[in-house]
Amino acid sequence: MGMIILDTARNATAYFWGERTSTIDWCEENYVVSDYIAEFWNCLTNGMFVILAAFGIVNAIKHQQGKRVVTLYMGLLFVGCGSACFHATLKYTTQLLDELPMLYLCALGFYSLVEIDRAINFGWKLPVALIALQTAITVTYIFWVQSPVFHQAAFATTVCASVAFGYRRQCEMTISNRTRRMLQRLLLQGFLGMAGGFFVWNLDNIFCHRLRTYRSHVGAPLDAILQLHGWWHILTAYGSTYLLLWVHLTKLARQGHDHLFTIRHFAGLIPYITLKSPKKID
């Protein structure tokens, strides 16, 4: 659900990136903070995706936690970078760089949950099926149904299917109470992050004109606190990270490595899985 709003703060011909071609224009006033970034705060807050993903990649490589884990974090990094490009330019091409990687990351997570064992159970059939499905969604979205609602429905369906399948996997496994509590906590934190982000995202859409009025009253820099789409980025970055950790932890538990891992937070803010006895798990 995107807000398409007429921004009158700057003339369209004066925009650094030219006239907006995206099908969505969010509540943040365009080119007010910077002459070179259309939506400054919406662009900047994607840094949370980059930080969490980059830390996850470094940690996964350091502890040799597997190519799939590294790939998932790379997908999260690409989501953040694509979203930053979109909000910086408000072009249709960069809008696709924001929206489509979200679907592909969910598909990667679903694949990791299905092929959770060391042995590959479905061979080439599952990746081909997932690629075909994502290709169909992509082509439909670009050429036929260019509505953000279509993308949002496809994304929500993919997330729900992945979480439902992963939770089923978790219930099937024989694991210690400690591991089960950790998995449940990660899933809850992921859900709260995504749900909280969705909540403020809707507030930003519904009460945009009122929020703009409030921001004009408080002025800089406090007005940044009322950029609710930026909070959507921060909350969903955390929610996505916790869900990726949940996928990773489910895989480790499935393979019987409960006694080798623990969850820590760097600087109290960045969650990650580290193995007590580093060992390659792929």
Is 187 inside a domain boundary?
Answer: yes
Confirm or deny that 26 is annotated as ligand binding: yes
The pLDDT of residue 9 is 56
Residues with Cβ within 8 Å of 190's Cβ and at least 6 positions away in sequence, in order, are 239, 240, 241, 242, 243, 245, 246
Q: How far is CA 216 from CA 32, 36, 183, in A?
A: 12, 21, 44
Confirm or deny that 30 is annotated as ligand binding: yes
Only one residue has tokens 């749900």, namely: 195
The pLDDT of residue 1 is 43
- pTM assigned to the model: 0.87
Supply 146's token pair.
């260019």
Is 254 inside a domain boundary?
Answer: yes
The pLDDT of residue 277 is 57
Number of domains in the chain: 1
What CATH number does residue 243 fall under?
Answer: 1.20.1070
Q: How far apart (Å, rounded) are the C-alpha atoms in residues 222 and 226?
A: 8
Provide the residue-wise pLDDT of the chain in tens; the chain has 282 residues: 445 555 655 556 678 888 888 888 899 999 989 989 999 999 999 999 999 999 889 888 887 777 888 999 999 999 999 999 999 999 999 999 998 998 899 888 888 888 877 767 777 888 899 899 889 989 998 888 877 788 888 888 888 888 888 788 777 778 888 888 889 899 999 999 999 999 999 999 999 999 999 999 998 888 999 999 999 999 999 999 999 999 888 888 887 877 778 888 888 889 988 877 555 444
The pLDDT of residue 79 is 94
The pLDDT of residue 124 is 83
Confirm or deny that 151 is annotated as ligand binding: no
Confirm or deny that 46 is annotated as ligand binding: no
Is 281 inside a domain boundary?
Answer: no
Is 4 inside a domain boundary?
Answer: no
Is 7 inside a domain boundary?
Answer: no
Confirm or deny that 29 is annotated as ligand binding: no
What range does the domain containing 200 cover? 12-275
Count of CB atoms situated within 10 Å of the CB of 255? 13
Confirm or deny that 265 is annotated as ligand binding: no
Q: How far apart (Å, rounded) are the C-alpha atoms in residues 54 and 248?
A: 16
